[in-house]
Amino acid sequence: ATLRGGGYDAVFIATHHDEFDQETLAEAGRICPIIAWNSDDEWRWESYSSHHAPWYTFMVTNSPTIYAQHKAEFPNLIHAQWACSGFWDGRNTRKDIDFSFMGQVYGPRGAQIRWLARHAGLQAYGKGTRRYIHPNADHDAPLKRAQRAVQRTILKYALPGIADEVSVLSLEQVNGIWNRSKVSFTPLDSSQNNVRQIKGRVFEMGLSGTLMLAHQAPLLDTYYEPGKEYVPFETLEECAEKARFYIKNEPARAKIAAAYARRTEAEHMWHQRIQRVLEAAGVAGT
């Protein structure tokens, strides 16, 4: 009912489970193109995406490998990568956090974070880190900050399950941490099947002014040039060594961070991605 008479050029659906049944999507597709936008096709293609692709007018995969392997079988498949919104531009924000991780803790990340915290001073934020940032923290008086610090400590050690849940941050808080970070630890392990994948954070923090210190991952170098627009690593020891180097060498850090931002702004913004998908779907400019 929402689509009828709405005059929509296309509808995007971020897929996860069975958001809509096949009949509903077929009916909607008669009104305007219905475009599925997938994530995690590196390990979800066979179990999920390949079964649902015929349900949609078009299906977007952010995996170039999946696209190359299955485009012939699924002509409605489109490749598009994650992108940066540009809503939180932190290039001129003071960098008062040396080395941070922002995201959910799962799989090997917990051990990685603990090791890097010991050897390179990594500060981790997000679900599972048990670190809570109050929305008003930047405006609190010193006494209130001290009280909140005590509360966080009690929560972390006495009620770890609750601490894991309340450590979830808003998008504004997530981008605020990236914008304040000199170097950002960017693990690219997937949550399943021991594969590496290009994650949204690679592009999302592109205008933050941070230096992206990222796992080597398939085809990442086609989006950003290693050593010039981001810094790759393979082992935790290499990651810690490079983090310490760039924390101490601000001109070198700032040069790579600025190049990372320029490339992001020139090629990897959401308006650019959406435009190309609409062109591929044949509905751009309508």
Based on the domain organization, do 59 and 101 belong to the same domain? no
Based on the domain organization, do 253 and 202 belong to the same domain? yes
Based on the domain organization, do 103 and 75 belong to the same domain? no
Based on the domain organization, do 123 and 192 belong to the same domain? yes
Based on the domain organization, do 113 and 217 belong to the same domain? yes
Task: With respect to residue 158, please indicate whether it lies within any of the assigned structural domains.
Answer: no
Nearest to 103, CA basis, from 111, 113, 93: 113
Structural contact between residues 167 and 132, judged by C-beta atoms closer than 8 angstroms: yes
Based on the domain organization, do 256 and 276 belong to the same domain? no
Task: With respect to residue 44, please indicate whether it lies within any of the assigned structural domains.
Answer: yes
Based on the domain organization, do 62 and 110 belong to the same domain? no
69 is in which domain, residue-wise?
11-82+270-280
Structural contact between residues 211 and 264, judged by C-beta atoms closer than 8 angstroms: no
Dist. CA 260–CA 255, nearest whole Å: 9
The pLDDT, as a whole number, for residue 212 is: 99
The pLDDT, as a whole number, for residue 152 is: 44
Instruction: Count how many domains the chain has.
Output: 2
Based on the domain organization, do 77 and 190 belong to the same domain? no
Task: With respect to residue 145, please indicate whether it lies within any of the assigned structural domains.
Answer: no
The pLDDT, as a whole number, for residue 170 is: 81
The pLDDT, as a whole number, for residue 228 is: 98
Q: Which residues does the chain have with pLDDT short of 70?
A: 1, 130-168, 191-193, 284-286
Cα first-last separation, the chain: 22
Task: With respect to residue 27, please indicate whether it lies within any of the assigned structural domains.
Answer: yes
Based on the domain organization, do 173 and 55 belong to the same domain? no
Nearest to 24, CA basis, from 48, 62, 63, 52: 52
What Å distances lie between residue 91 and 35, 78, 179, 184, 262, CA to CA?
33, 32, 7, 14, 10
Segment holding 27, helix H or strand E: helix 22-29
Based on the domain organization, do 113 and 38 belong to the same domain? no
Q: In 10 A of CB 70, how many CB atoms?
A: 18
Task: With respect to residue 285, please indicate whether it lies within any of the assigned structural domains.
Answer: no
Nearest to 101, CA basis, from 24, 218, 224, 214: 214
Task: With respect to residue 1, please indicate whether it lies within any of the assigned structural domains.
Answer: no
- The pair phi, psi for residue 197, each rounded to 5°, is -145, 155
Predicted TM-score of the model (pTM): 0.82
CATH classification of the domain holding 120: 3.40.50.2000
Task: With respect to residue 140, please indicate whether it lies within any of the assigned structural domains.
Answer: no
Tokens of 97: 């956090």
The pLDDT, as a whole number, for residue 157 is: 46
3 state DSSP class of 207: coil
Dist. CA 56–CA 91, nearest whole Å: 39
Task: With respect to residue 171, please indicate whether it lies within any of the assigned structural domains.
Answer: yes
The pLDDT, as a whole number, for residue 22 is: 92
Based on the domain organization, do 106 and 172 belong to the same domain? yes
Angle, CA 69 vertex, CA 275 and CA 215 arms, to 5°: 75
The pLDDT, as a whole number, for residue 80 is: 95
Based on the domain organization, do 19 and 105 belong to the same domain? no
